[in-house]
Structure 1
Amino acid sequence: MSTTQSERLRELLEPLVTSQGLDLEEIAVDSVGRKRVLSVVVDSDTGADLDRIADVSRALSAKLDETDAMGEGEYTLEVGTPGAERALTEHRHYVRAQDRLVRFQLTEGGELTARILTVDEAGLDVEVPGVKGRKATSRRLAFDEIAKARVQVEFNRKDSKDMKEEEEA
């Protein structure tokens, strides 16, 4: 997709997404055989349930139908959310990932896996899990120290309620 088409699609669709209380995170057009697929990724601070996704999908579809932004050919519109292991690229992504485990690639080299505790304009306070019986440690990361960051899926994480119940038992 050309930069011009990408910019035009963003200019066309972003106001509709914003009017639904969502952020437009990503737009991509891919070719699948003879068809094209327009993928639109949306999110918000409170998440996006299926009803909100359906509403924004209908609004985007109607707007695309009344314009020639996708040209004459057939295409499929897919609207979804970023997914469980999303890359963190914007300040709002870090805010939304508070209390989540994140793998950071650091600008000076090396990796760090830590839980985001707080986020401010300058960076993050994180908790690095303890290893082999050691206690977790806190650390401050400035945004310019982070080359890449991606949320990690946790299958066996105990929430704070579960941990309190275990401590009381």
Structure 2
Amino acid sequence: MVNLEALVAECGVNLYDTETVSENGRTIFRVYITKKGGITLDDCEKVSRLLSPIFDVEPPVSGDYILEVSSPGLERVLTKPHHFEQSIGEFVKITINSNEKFEGKILKFEDEILTIETEGKKLDIKFNDIKKAKTYIKW
């Protein structure tokens, strides 16, 4: 099994997430990468050139597929603890299990507790109570 996190780190970037999707009858294996200051096309190309020959020997999915390497974008879904850790200081929209919705700035994420500032107050939300979360840009 390929250690994707270690491999992309060799290119000076962090692994954000992966997904396998089917679009127009084709399977796409996406690798999302991040780094401070943002991802460039050169970063994506470096990671793709590194992973392609490895995946030729040890494919990430069965059958034919297309490899895509990209940034998760400025507005991105947060599903894992490290997504929240990497998004400290950013604005987030959150829906919790009771379907209550909150918007605010991520202050910290420690011990599975997300702390956001919303309407001038600090709010702690347990990671397991988060149904959906997505960063957003405040213009």
TM-score with structure 2 setting the length = 0.78
Partner of residue 77, structure 1: 67
Aligned partners of 2:51, 2:101: CA distance in 1, in Å?
A: 39
Give the stretch that moved more between structures: 44-53 or 117-126: 44-53
For the 8 Å contact 1:101–1:116, the answer to whether it is kept is yes
Report 1 or 2 for greater relative contact order, CA contacts < 8 Å, sequence distance ≥ 6: 2
For structure 1, which runs of at least 5 residues remain unmatched after alignment? 1-10, 130-135, 157-169
CA positional deviation for 1:19: 3.3
> Is residue 95–residue 133 contact of structure 2 (8 Å, CA) maintained in 1?
yes
**Per-residue displacement from partner, 1:93-149 (whole Å, max 9, x unpaired)?**
1111111111111123311111111221231221113xxxxxx22222222332221
Residue pair 2:32, 2:72 contacting (<8 A) in 1 also: yes
Quick one: distance in 2 between partners of 1:13 and 1:57?
Answer: 15
Structure 1 equivalent of residue 51 of structure 2: 60
The answer to whether the 8 Å contact 2:108/2:116 transfers is yes
Mark the structure with the bigger radius of gyration. 1
Q: What root-mean-square deviation, in Å, do the aligned CA atoms of Structure 1 and Structure 2 show?
A: 2.6
Structure with more helix by fraction: 1
Q: Which structure has more strand as a fraction of its residues?
A: 2
Q: Where do 1:73-152 residues align within 5 Å?
A: 73=64, 75-129=65-119, 136-152=120-136
Amino acid corresponding to residue 34 of structure 2 in structure 1: D
Q: Which is worse superposed, 51-60 or 145-154?
A: 145-154
Percent identical residues: 26
CA distance in 1, matches of 2:128, 2:90: 20
Amino acid at match of 1:114: G
Moved over 4 A (4+): 44-47, 70-73
Q: Are residues 53 and 115 of structure 1, via their aligned partners in 2, closer, same or farther at CA, if it must alter by over 3 Å?
A: same
Deviation per CA, 1:26-83, whole angstroms, max 9, x where unpaired? 13142534x5433222234664333222111101112223x2626674x432111212
Task: Give the match for residue 24 of structure 2.
Answer: 32
Matched position secondary structure for 2:66: strand
